[in-house]
Structure 1
Amino acid sequence: MATNEVTPATATDAIRYTLWQLVLYFLRLGAMGFGGPVALVGYMRRDLVEQRGWITEADYKEGLALAQLAPGPMAAQTAIYLGYVHYRILGATLAGIAFVLPSFCMVVVLGWAYSQFGGLSWMQAVFYGVGAAVIGIIAISAHKLTTKCIGKDKLLWAIFLVLASVTVITESEIAWLFLAAGVVTWLWRAPPKRWSGGELAAALPVDMAQTGSFMATLDWSLLTQIGVFFAKAGAFVFGSGLAIVPFLYGGVVTEHHWLNEKQFVDAVAVAMITPGPVVITVGFIGYLVAGFPGACVAALATFLPCYLFTIIPAPYFKKYGKLPAIVAFVDGVTAAAVGAITGSVIVIAKRSIVDVPTAVIALLTVAILWRYKKLQEPVVVVSAALIGLILYPLTHP
């Protein structure tokens, strides 16, 4: 089919970049993009929409909306969709690999060091500073997304506030609320005469759930157990990469007893102090459980579902995305996504800002990034890590 081919030459004048330029961009973002999913999707908008003009605002919003609707890590799915926009399946595949590969290599190296040297005691000190700075980075990204995506639309603001409040109260992202937000906006702006997609949408989760239950009952080898568990994590967890942490804890620590609590906390800390998607913590966990093969299986199993959940519906987003009903639906889902993202800033802050020094680091990060808009985030993260190494022994004798 034509939709699966690289963009034809007849459209080249509409494309301002090559496939390899896009791959190099995502390699760089995966290697230097700190701040978690909220910050990462913010960087994509800033770099690809505002600064370079490679991606249109409409395509970006469609990608963000699809990432929120489908299960899996939001930042990785957004990257995959943006790769699909002009270069279809090849672009989606290479963009996704380029985005995930740098951080995967980093967590594998850290997993090796962790196994060889019996833990990473210095990580608490680094995370003390970096965790606070990340809050500032996320807050700036959430502000930019809010001002650009919500505008002055009262309905979108109402959706934004509801989702932000629900996220803060429940400390989770409720998938059906994103769908509800899209439907409400759709019905308000462009009431449909008919709609025939409900049966498929209703049937899909049931089939997936039955498949997951069947697979969970089988007796697999360790690597296959790892693959099945992390595939379920990638297929059934909605929202940002942080949303996968409670699911992983229940399976890795409580159910399978692959790691103890300290090892699991260290794994999450590794994901937070390394660039790229937070969900790459699965690579670290996989390494601790079964070495390098375990890391590869865990990462592949986690990201494969989100890849499929992005490229399969992507042609329909591209084909029908300009219809008034679809535009309204996407606007509603986007408002819900930005609201949930903003709420997650508060949720994460409650865990990372634990005393006066961390509060000061977070506020300074916001002030510095607000004042110096071209300052690269890795500079802030490295500075915060050094501050953490100095302050943590003083505040935690």
Structure 2
Amino acid sequence: MKGPVTALAGLGILVLYFIGINEVALLFGGGLAVMIVLNVHRLRNRLMGVSLLPLGGIGLLSQAVQPVTLSSLFLIFLKIGAILYGSGYVLVAFLRADLVVRLGWLTDPQLIDAIAIGQVTPGPLFTSATFIGYLLAGVPGALLATAGIFLPSFVFVALSNPLIPRMRKSLWLGSLLDGVNVSSLSLMAAVTWQLGRATLIDPFSILITVVALGLLVRFKINSTWLIAGGALLGLVRTVV
């Protein structure tokens, strides 16, 4: 948070997400809103009234539940890979919106399992796509989901890498990036709350969460070890 404007934008994005506004609209709409508000004084017209409110009219686009096909699986992950911005954990918000809420292909616990697999396996969190693809459509699904989510990154990095330093020097585009960043944080916070409600279902899971959070904050333990430790405790509990 770089100031009251970005803090207010983050809070607004959080509220709008919970009332059902599309996460893509929130991600980029938040960036545009921060850019305009921080730079509106540079214009000589009546843009002073611009705020986050116009986002409220953008509803969550509903899709009919459809069967899992290889083409639709590839296109969904291609779309997510193309519009995802920020930390890899923003991926969770997009996956939940598409695969859990809109299509019903996964449940919240299944999504949490996929994220855990992505954490403990080598590579970025995006490897969760491989597990999800396999879960939904076997080996072909795993290959297509992986290709779909990674393909846009190679293209965008090659095209945008020379432009990012110039964008940061621009007051307008720098503000846009700040707004998108804070929108990403809000989406991560919102989906963490939603998945937490589906995961923290008994005293044992709550205890593991509290201990893991304490170890992470106090000792900066790598999240991979925390997940592995939690999995081991869960296995021991099941066996005993």
TM-score, scaled relative to structure 2: 0.67
- CA distance in structure 1 between the aligned counterparts of 2:137 and 2:183, rounded to whole angstroms: 39
**Counterpart in the other structure of 1:162:** 12
Q: Return the index of the structure with the highest Cα Rg.
A: 1
RMSD value over aligned CA atoms? 3.5
Structure 2 residue 76 is matched with structure 1 residue 229: no
- CA distance in structure 2 between the aligned counterparts of 1:288 and 1:362, rounded to whole angstroms: 26
Candidates 343, 356, 374, aligned match of 2:203:
356
**Counterpart in the other structure of 1:320:** 167
Q: Counterpart of 1:385 in structure 2: which amino acid?
A: A
Candidates 214, 228, 232, aligned match of 1:382:
228
Q: How does 1:1-397 map to 2 (within 5 A)?
A: 150-151=1-2, 153-170=3-20, 174-191=23-40, 226-227=70-71, 229-235=73-79, 240-242=90-92, 243-245=94-96, 247-248=98-99, 253=105, 269-275=113-119, 276-287=123-134, 292-373=139-220, 375-392=221-238
- CA distance in structure 2 between the aligned counterparts of 1:393 and 1:354, rounded to whole angstroms: 19
Name the CA shift for 1:352/1:173 in 2 (closer, same or farther; >3 Å). farther
CA contact (8 A) 2:114 2:132 kept: no
- CA distance in structure 1 between the aligned counterparts of 2:239 and 2:22, rounded to whole angstroms: 35
- CA distance in structure 2 between the aligned counterparts of 1:270 and 1:278, rounded to whole angstroms: 10
- CA distance in structure 1 between the aligned counterparts of 2:117 and 2:173, rounded to whole angstroms: 38
Larger relative contact order (C-alpha < 8 A, sep ≥ 6)?
1
Name the CA shift for 1:274/1:289 in 2 (closer, same or farther; >3 Å). closer
Q: How many residues align?
A: 205
- CA distance in structure 1 between the aligned counterparts of 2:136 and 2:196, rounded to whole angstroms: 30
Name the CA shift for 1:300/1:234 in 2 (closer, same or farther; >3 Å). same
Q: Counterpart of 1:355 in structure 2: which amino acid?
A: D
Q: Counterpart of 1:284 in structure 2: which amino acid?
A: F
5+ residue gaps in structure 2? Answer: 45-67, 85-89
CA contact (8 A) 1:167 1:344 kept: no
Name the CA shift for 1:305/1:353 in 2 (closer, same or farther; >3 Å). same
Name the CA shift for 1:168/1:306 in 2 (closer, same or farther; >3 Å). farther
- CA distance in structure 1 between the aligned counterparts of 2:34 and 2:135, rounded to whole angstroms: 46
- CA distance in structure 2 between the aligned counterparts of 1:163 and 1:182, rounded to whole angstroms: 10
- CA distance in structure 2 between the aligned counterparts of 1:329 and 1:307, rounded to whole angstroms: 22
Percent identical pairs in the alignment equals 19
- CA distance in structure 1 between the aligned counterparts of 2:131 and 2:15, rounded to whole angstroms: 33
- CA distance in structure 1 between the aligned counterparts of 2:70 and 2:185, rounded to whole angstroms: 33
- The structural deviation recorded for 1:311 is 3.9
CA contact (8 A) 2:109 2:198 kept: no
5+ residue gaps in structure 1? Answer: 1-149, 195-221, 254-260
